[in-house]
Structure formats: C-alpha cells, structure tokens
Amino acid sequence: MSGTNWMSSKSEFAQPPVDLRTDIPHSARVYDYLIGGKTNYAPDRAAGDASALAYPSLPISMKQTRIFMHRVTRYLAREHGIRQFLDIGTGIPTQPNLHEVAQEAAPEARVVYVDNDPIVLTHARHLMTSTSEGRTEYIDADIRNVDSILGAQQLHEVLDLKQPVALSLIAIMHFVLDEDDPQGIVRRLMSELAPGSFLALTIFTGDSNPEGVAGVGREYNERGIPLQIRDKAETERFFEGLDLIDPGITLVHHWRPDERDASEGVRDADVSMYGGVALKRD
C-alpha cells in the first residue's frame, strides 16, 4: 500500500459498553478460532473443537473460503475494473482484509464493510485503514434489515450506487434462515446496484461431505448459533436473474485457482462451501 488513511475520528467509535457474552459461543469467534485467530474464548473454542471433531476438514474449508474472497476481489478489481465493494458479514478483521486485497490491485478502491456482531464492532478500526487514494467505512447493521444498510449515511458517503459495485456475501448467508427470505434479501440488495455490478456469494453445503457437515450444523444449532445447510439447487436460487461468470457455481477451491492459492492437494471432501460470482447486466 502507498499509505494509510484513518477515515473515522475516535468519537465516531465511541460506543456504549457492549456485552460480548463471552460465556456463550459466537459464530465470528468460532470462525476466528478455527482459522488460527486469537479473538475467541473458551465457549467458542469448545464449539469449534466439537464442530471440527464432527468434520475435521472444517478449518480447511474455512481457509479456502477466505482464499476465494481474496481471489474474487483481485479478479473483479483487475479484470472488470471494479472500484467499489460492499462487504456484508465482514467478521473479525483478519489480514489481508478485503480492502487490502482490493487496494493492492487498485489503490483508489472504496470499500464499505457491514456487520452487526458486537465483537466485530469492537475491532472495526482495523477495517478503517485505507490507501490515501481510496476509502473504507464500517456500518453496524444486520443483513436481515436491508433498509438499515441501504439507508446508512456512511454507505452513500463512500459508494456511488449509480456506478458498479461488487456485493460480497462471503460465509454469511448460512446464518440467514429460510424464514428470513435470504434470496429475497440478495435480490433487494442487488436491485439497488447499478448495471455492471457483481454478486460474489458463498453457501455452506453438505453436498461434498454430508455426514461431516451435518455434524457441524448440529453442533452450531445446539449451541445457539442458528445455521442452515443448503445444496447446489438452493445455491443457484441466489443467482437468479444474474449472469454467472465461468466456471459458475463450484466448490470454492475450484473457482479460478491461481498461482497465489494454497489449495494444492485440497480434496473436494475437505471443502463445504459453494461459491459463485455473477454479473448484473441491467
């Protein structure tokens, strides 16, 4: 990067005390633990250990999903000239974050992060660094309340929705249950974006390892983390009305692998996430 730029003042992050409920597992902290992070507590580690016992490849799958995000971001910035990214379901900051990948390819890239997890909010400043040419911002909002995202002042200060935007929904939609109309949420978000925008999305699936993934679903749900597993047909519904980019919907380690990947030797049974990227033409 050519430099860093803190886009928000300290007062903007002056938040009332937040109860992080460290006595119960949290999806963001379980993920952080399983990919080797340090922002987690005993209940998170217990949930992660139980899930990995049911499906030992879960940490591999999670890491491959993050590599997919990196690869997609580079691809959209370099091959399609995308300079605006809306990342919902950001999670605990883990380098490189999306804006770091995007701004490595295009220093002027602008990124808005969205999450509603209290633990992520406490770390939001790590998402607020930017090249001097670009900009980043963080919105504390729930994906199930689309109006709170689309109506946020920070969104419109950073992104011009009349120009193409990449909507990044990585490892988030399995926490949106069918009763909350996840496909409808995606359609609503994409409807507000200009032609030439892209959707990058992953879906947690049991197609590649039914027994192991079912065990993960059981462990999460029994610990109070609602999670829904979906098959390929259900995944395809998220992309209706959009033009899928080759190779279409595939397990994430098969999506345009490149020389920067760490996926050599990864088996399909090790990966439980479908991924796809699609273009909005009009």
Per-residue pLDDT, 234: 98
Among candidate residues 182, 178, 170, the one with its CA nearest the CA of residue 88: 170
Distance CA 232, CA 243 (A): 17
Does residue 184 fall inside a structural domain? Answer: yes
Per-residue pLDDT, 16: 52
Does residue 4 fall inside a structural domain? Answer: no
Among candidate residues 83, 261, 282, 89, the one with its CA nearest the CA of residue 191: 282
43-62: b or e for each residue (b if 16 or more CB lie within 10 Å)? Answer: bbeebbebbbebbebbbbbb
CA atoms within 13 A on the CB side of 35: 18
Domain containing 206 — which CATH number?
A: 3.40.50.150
Instruction: Give the number of domains in the chain.
Output: 1
Does residue 209 fall inside a structural domain? Answer: yes
Does residue 235 fall inside a structural domain? Answer: yes
Distance CA 85, CA 101 (A): 11
Per-residue pLDDT, 263: 77
Structure tokens at 102: 């995007």
Does residue 3 fall inside a structural domain? Answer: no
Residue at 259: amino acid letter: E
pLDDT 10s digit of each residue in the chain, 282 long? 334 444 443 334 445 566 677 889 999 999 999 999 999 999 999 999 999 999 999 999 999 999 999 999 999 999 999 999 999 999 988 889 999 999 999 999 999 999 988 888 888 877 778 999 999 999 999 999 999 999 999 999 999 999 999 999 999 999 999 999 999 999 999 999 999 999 999 999 999 999 999 999 999 999 999 999 999 999 999 999 999 999 999 999 999 998 777 777 899 999 999 999 999 998
Give the rounded distance of the alpha carbon of 212 from its chain centre: 22
Does residue 260 fall inside a structural domain? Answer: yes
- Range of the structural domain that residue 169 is part of: 10-279
Does residue 225 fall inside a structural domain? Answer: yes
pTM of the prediction? Answer: 0.91
Does residue 2 fall inside a structural domain? Answer: no
